[in-house]
Structure 1
Amino acid sequence: MSFKIAIIGAGSVGFTKKLFTDILCVPEFKDIEFALTDLSEHNLQMIKAILDKIVESNKLPTKVTATTNRREAIAGARYIISCVRVGGLEAYADDIRIPLKYGIDQCVGDTICAGGILYGQRNIPVILDFCKDIRELAEPGAKFLNYANPMAMNTWAAIEYGKVDTVGLCHGVQHGAEQIAEVLGAKSQSELDYICSGINHQTWFIDLKLNGRKIGKEELVAAFEAHPVFSQQEKLRIDVLKRFGVYSTESNGHLSEYLPWYRKRPDEITKWIDMSDWIHGETGGYLRHSTETRNWFETEFPQFLASAEKPIDPAKRSNEHASHILEALETGRVYRGHFNVKNNGVITNLPSDAIIESPGFVDRFGINMVSGITIPEACAATCMASINVQRMSVHAAISGDIDLLKLAVLHDPLVGAVSTPEEVWQMVDEMVVAQARWLPQYADAVPAAKERLANSKVKTKEWAGAARRNVRSIEELRAEKAALKQAV
């Protein structure tokens, strides 16, 4: 087989390498072309060097190109994969820093909440540019695979306004299933069967079977509470399981910021999170992790390049959906996964226009969703709160309506639990002004926002958050990795 895959945001080096090696685990794909594109020439050359080394070491005919010209990369592509972060870590730092001034403490801030909504405002105009290029230049019928957050908003915009065949992909379901298999004592992941449904980052394990035996709430609660690690790291997630009756796919830290109950007071935050790793609820945890990862890669690039000499091992193919979807579409070997698509009745008690995450099967005929699923009422209510925010956020990003943007932020569950309307109005003004260079649709609104900020009487505070850790130096990271290696 010979076709072209374009990867936008390929400078996300670790993730691009994973996608690349996963896809090349499919024997029929050795002759394909990967076209890498990114705004950073520096990052592009680093990832190209790594991928070239993999191709050379494995004696493959695979072609790898790299260009900062996105249209050149997309031209003739059958599949386009996006893993972009518009604004990079600079804009992301504002997504965390500015809401903290108004008492809003986020762990990740890339899905909803104040940070996720502004992240969507930066991404959506760019996503629509990608879609325009795909319509004009890609192979007819090309498929757009979006890995970038905010997943639901980006996918919503691409489908509704970009008019491109789009699927959103995330690994939260797989990671949640790995935890459940572990606490239930499964010998392998294959022993666990499950149906997961909802919206991205709020997907729910509504049916579980271990070796064909149905697993109920009480057994699952007991298994998690008995686990020596998860009982501490997933306290909030276990509490939601007890109250809702089903387990959420999303990590303790992620889940905490989609709900109005656990992060609205500093003393409550520290009660529900765990500081052993960023993903369990630390203030700005993913920002710190992303910063450290970038710094580590820049410093340790020779080590990453040397590791690329190892042969590709199909047994180590990851559970990221992309390679499995491409394999199913191209070879007809059926793949079952959980995909982000427009609802259109797939989940009976969520809106038709929403982007849902639910089971589907892939073959040569495309992605075929399992329809007629009804999720528990409490899960639907929680999803609906986010869907309403997502819908307003997408419409605001398309129209450049700053008042609608403020209403979207106001209706966010955590923001509404913490901030007054006056605080929300000022916070959004401040974020739009700070990020104006990435928000072209709000250019006309920026002068008035600056004037309002100059005359505002709303008080803010300089606050690092309830549970902030400093970014570790390269030396600290080396020492920690050495200690872990020695312990093993």
Structure 2
Amino acid sequence: MSFKIAIIGAGSVGFTKKLFTDILCVPEFSDIEFALTDLSEHNLQMIKAILDRIVEANKLPTRVTATTDRRKALEGARYVISCVRVGGLEAYADDIRIPLKYGIDQCVGDTICAGGILYGQRNIPVILDFCKDILEIAEPGAKFLNYANPMAMNTWAAIEYGKVDTVGLCHGVQHGAEQIAEVLGAKSHSELDYVCSGINHQTWFIDLRLNGRKIGKDELVAAFEAHPVYSQQEKLRIDVLKRFGVYSTESNGHLSEYLPWYRKRPDEITRWIDMSDWIHGETGGYLRYSTETRNWFETEFPQFLEAASKPLDVSKRSNEHASHILEALETNRVYRGHFNVKNTGIITNLPQDAIIESPGFVDRFGINMASGITLPEACAATCMASINVQRMSVHAAVTGDIDLLKLAVLHDPLVGAVSTPEEVWQMVDEMVVAQARWLPQYADAVPAAKERLSKSMVKTRDWAGAARRKVRSIEELRAEKTALKQAG
């Protein structure tokens, strides 16, 4: 087979390498072209060097090109994969820093909450530019695979406004299933069958079978509470399981910021989180992790390049959906996964226009979703709160309506639990002004926002958050890695 895959945001070096090696684990795909594109020439050259080394070491005919000219990369592509982070770590830092001035403590801030909504405002105009290019110069009928957050908002915009065949992909379901299999004592993940449905990052394991035996709430609660690690790292998640009756796919830290109950009082936050790793609830945890990872990669690049010389190991193909979807579409080997698509009767008690995440099967005929799923009422209610925020956020991003943007932020569950309307209005003005270079749709609104900020009487505070850790230096990271090796 010979076709072209374009990867936008390919400067996300580690993730691009994973997608690349996964796809090359499909024997029929050795003769395809990967077209890498990114705004950073530096990052592009690093990832191209790694991928070229993999191709050379495995004596493959695979072609790898890299360009900052996005249209050149997209020309003739059958599949387009997006891994973009518009604004990079500079804008992301404001997504965390500014809401903290108004008492909003986020762990990740890339899905909803104040940070996730502004992240969507930066991403959606760019996503729509991608869609325009795909329709104009990619292979007719090209499929757009979106990995970028905020997943639901980006996918919603690409489908509703971009008019491109789009699927959103995430690995939260797989990671949650791995946890469940472990606490239930499964010998392998294949012993666990499940139906998981909802919206991205708020997806629920509504049916669990271990070797065909149905697993109920009480057994699952007992299994998590007995686990020496998860009982400490997933305290909030276990509490939600007890109250809702089903387990959430999302990590302890992520889930904490989608709900209005666990992060609204600073003295309560530490009760529900665990500081052993960022993903369990640390304030600004993913921002710290992303900063450290970027610095680490820059320093350790020669080692990454050397590792790329090893033969491909098909047994290490990851559970990221992209390679499996492409394999099913091109070879007709059926793949079952959980995909982000527009709801069209798939989940009966969520809106038809929402982007849902639910089970589907892929073959040569496309992605075929299982329909007629009904969520437990509490799960549906929680999803609905986020869907309403996502809908307003998408429409605001497309129209540049700053008043609608403020209403979207006001209706966010955690923001609403913490902030007053006056605080929300000022916070959004401050974020739009700070990020104006990435928000072209709000250019006309920025002068008035600056004027309002100059006269505002709303008080803010200098607050690092309830559970903040400093960014570690390369030397500290190296010392910790060495200590772990010695201890292991």
| In 1: Cα distance, 2:436 partner to 2:160 partner | 25
Structure 2 matches for 1:9-408, cutoff 5 A? 9-408=9-408
| In 1: Cα distance, 2:268 partner to 2:252 partner | 14
Structure 1 residues 201-254: Cα deviation after superposition (integer angstroms, max 9, x where no partner): 000000000000000000000000000000000000000000000000000000
Task: Give the CA deviation at 1:487.
Answer: 1.4
| In 2: Cα distance, 1:313 partner to 1:301 partner | 21
Root-mean-square deviation (Å): 0.3
Structure 1 residues 336-392: Cα deviation after superposition (integer angstroms, max 9, x where no partner): 000000001100000000000000000000000000000100000000000000000
| In 2: Cα distance, 1:128 partner to 1:78 partner | 18
Task: Give the CA deviation at 1:142.
Answer: 0.3
Task: Give the CA deviation at 1:28.
Answer: 0.2
Task: Give the CA deviation at 1:321.
Answer: 0.1
| In 2: Cα distance, 1:380 partner to 1:139 partner | 38
Task: Give the CA deviation at 1:128.
Answer: 0.1
Secondary structure in 2 matching 1:178: helix
Q: Give the fraction of aligned pairs with identical amino acids, expressed as a percent.
A: 92
Task: Give the CA deviation at 1:409.
Answer: 0.1
| In 2: Cα distance, 1:147 partner to 1:208 partner | 26
Unpaired runs of at least 5, structure 2: none
| In 1: Cα distance, 2:151 partner to 2:312 partner | 29
Structure 1 residues 431-452: Cα deviation after superposition (integer angstroms, max 9, x where no partner): 0000000000000000000000
Structure 1 residues 299-343: Cα deviation after superposition (integer angstroms, max 9, x where no partner): 000010000011111100000000000000000000000000000
Secondary structure in 2 matching 1:257: helix
Task: Give the CA deviation at 1:486.
Answer: 1.1
| In 2: Cα distance, 1:389 partner to 1:30 partner | 43
| In 2: Cα distance, 1:475 partner to 1:258 partner | 35
Task: Give the CA deviation at 1:268.
Answer: 1.0
Secondary structure in 1 matching 2:444: helix
Partner of 2:8: 8
Structure 1 residues 283-313: Cα deviation after superposition (integer angstroms, max 9, x where no partner): 0000000000000000000010000011111
| In 1: Cα distance, 2:341 partner to 2:486 partner | 45
| In 1: Cα distance, 2:207 partner to 2:376 partner | 11
| In 2: Cα distance, 1:170 partner to 1:215 partner | 25
- 4+ runs deviating over 3 angstroms: none
Task: Give the CA deviation at 1:270.
Answer: 0.5
Secondary structure in 2 matching 1:467: coil
TM-score by length of 2: 1.00
| In 2: Cα distance, 1:32 partner to 1:87 partner | 31
Task: Give the CA deviation at 1:39.
Answer: 0.0
| In 2: Cα distance, 1:170 partner to 1:74 partner | 22
| In 2: Cα distance, 1:354 partner to 1:151 partner | 12
Task: Give the CA deviation at 1:464.
Answer: 0.2
| In 2: Cα distance, 1:310 partner to 1:93 partner | 36
Secondary structure in 1 matching 2:178: helix
| In 2: Cα distance, 1:485 partner to 1:200 partner | 35
| In 1: Cα distance, 2:483 partner to 2:215 partner | 38
Task: Give the CA deviation at 1:474.
Answer: 0.3
Structure 1 residues 403-428: Cα deviation after superposition (integer angstroms, max 9, x where no partner): 00000000000000000000000000
Task: Give the CA deviation at 1:267.
Answer: 1.0
Secondary structure in 2 matching 1:300: helix
| In 1: Cα distance, 2:239 partner to 2:143 partner | 39
| In 2: Cα distance, 1:8 partner to 1:389 partner | 27
| In 2: Cα distance, 1:314 partner to 1:47 partner | 21
| In 2: Cα distance, 1:154 partner to 1:38 partner | 18
Secondary structure in 1 matching 2:460: coil
Q: How many residue pairs get matched? A: 488
| In 1: Cα distance, 2:72 partner to 2:28 partner | 25
Structure 1 residues 98-130: Cα deviation after superposition (integer angstroms, max 9, x where no partner): 000000000000000000000000000000000
Partner of 1:465: 465
| In 2: Cα distance, 1:236 partner to 1:61 partner | 49
| In 2: Cα distance, 1:389 partner to 1:485 partner | 45
| In 1: Cα distance, 2:307 partner to 2:277 partner | 25
Structure 1 residues 135-181: Cα deviation after superposition (integer angstroms, max 9, x where no partner): 00000000000000000000000000000000000000000000000
| In 2: Cα distance, 1:151 partner to 1:202 partner | 12
| In 2: Cα distance, 1:53 partner to 1:22 partner | 16
Secondary structure in 2 matching 1:173: helix
| In 2: Cα distance, 1:65 partner to 1:59 partner | 17
Unpaired runs of at least 5, structure 1: none
| In 1: Cα distance, 2:75 partner to 2:200 partner | 30
Secondary structure in 2 matching 1:444: coil
